[in-house]
């Protein structure tokens, strides 16, 4: 009794009908419900409710009490732990467009802190939908800190224009690939040279790669991840204070390992 295979068998039993999980959750919340009340709340036929009530009772997770059904302590435990698992999977599904592209062991932030975050993933018909969201934030922030594993023309133009106009202060840390682009691509070299004397702007070089991009926009934090070909796939944004603290600490750590950018 109590072995792993038996537990997997119980999960398989529950997964065969979402009605069973719904019944356990309802009885855990309400303590006692009639068959009619369960039929109405689960929104299935009385025959379906009866069949699943009997099956759950055989597992010892609920029992009939006169005209009502109540959950047992064993059923309470199963319901509570199932709710936790379902919540975790629901969060994974939300964050999946971002998490799926992260290298293993490259993300030390608790994903639970991103439960209320906004997630924008690329779509086949609109692969740059995340760019608009990113540009909107670049256009309004007053102080910007970026870890740059990639760079784009539109974001660069918005940011550098605001820097030259005195509307923005910024600190950038470029990884090796982005630094090469800044040094060799004519679209960036002249601007970088001009910005070297711009007050409120600092540019650093990290000799390595970033697993994903981090942007700190005043009270907002954005993270951007790319696929194996370097194409951005998803953006996450949050105002969580704990995520903000994590982003600041991560940025500080990379900055301490970086040096001033030079041509």
Per-residue pLDDT of the chain (263 residues; tens, 9 = 90+): 668 899 999 999 999 999 999 999 999 998 899 999 999 999 999 999 999 999 999 999 999 888 899 999 999 999 999 999 999 999 999 999 999 999 888 999 999 999 999 999 988 888 888 888 899 999 999 999 999 999 999 999 999 999 999 999 999 999 999 999 999 999 999 899 889 888 999 999 999 999 999 999 999 999 999 998 988 999 999 999 999 999 999 999 999 999 999 87
Whole-angstrom distance, CA of residue 36 vs CA of residue 257: 65
> What value, to the nearest 5°, has the Cα angle with vertex 49 and ends 45 and 51?
115
What are the residue ranges of CATH 1.10.10.10 in the chain? 4-91
Cα dihedral sign for 246, 229, 173, 134? negative
Using the CB atoms, write b or e for 137-149: b if 16+ within 10 Å: bbeebeebbbbbb
Say which residues have a Cβ less than 8 Å from residue 18's Cβ, sequence separation at least 6. none
Whole-angstrom distance, CA of residue 84 vs CA of residue 21: 12
CATH architecture for residues 100-260: 2-Layer Sandwich (3.30)
Domain spanning 4-91 has what CATH number?
Answer: 1.10.10.10
Residue 95 has a CB neighbour count (10 Å cut-off) of 18
Give start and end residues of each alpha helix (H) in the chain. 4-15, 18-30, 35-42, 46-58, 73-99, 129-138, 153-164, 176-184, 186-195, 241-256
197: its two tokens: 């004397």
What are the residue ranges of CATH 3.30.870.10 in the chain? 100-260
pTM for the whole structure: 0.86
């Amino acid at each position: 009794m109590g072995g792993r295979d038996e537990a997997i068998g119980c999960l398989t039993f529950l997964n065969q009908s979402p009605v069973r999980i719904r019944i356990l959750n309802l009885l855990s919340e309400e303590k006692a419900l009639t068959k009619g009340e369960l039929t109405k709340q689960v929104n299935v036929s009385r025959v379906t409710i009866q069949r699943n009530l009997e099956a759950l009772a055989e597992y010892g997770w609920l029992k009939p009490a006169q005209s009502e059904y109540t959950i047992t302590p064993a059923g309470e435990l199963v319901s509570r732990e199932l709710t936790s698992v379902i919540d975790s999977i629901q969060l994974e599904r939300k964050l999946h467009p971002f998490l799926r592209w992260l290298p293993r062991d490259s993300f030390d932030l608790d994903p639970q802190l991103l439960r209320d975050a906004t997630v924008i993933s690329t779509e086949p018909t609109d692969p740059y939908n995340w760019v608009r969201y990113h540009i909107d934030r670049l256009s309004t922030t007053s102080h910007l800190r970026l870890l740059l594993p990639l760079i784009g023309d539109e974001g660069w133009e918005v940011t550098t224009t605001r820097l030259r106009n005195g509307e923005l202060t910024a600190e950038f840390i470029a990884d090796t690939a982005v630094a090469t682009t800044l040094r060799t691509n004519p679209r960036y070299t002249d601007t970088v040279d001009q910005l070297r004397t711009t007050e409120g702007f600092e540019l650093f070089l990290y000799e390595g790669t970033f697993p994903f991009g981090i942007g700190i926009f005043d009270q907002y934090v954005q993270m951007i991840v790319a696929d194996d070909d370097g194409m951005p796939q998803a953006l996450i944004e949050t105002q969580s204070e704990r995520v903000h603290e994590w982003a600041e600490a991560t940025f500080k750590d990379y900055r301490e390992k970086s040096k001033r950018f030079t041509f």
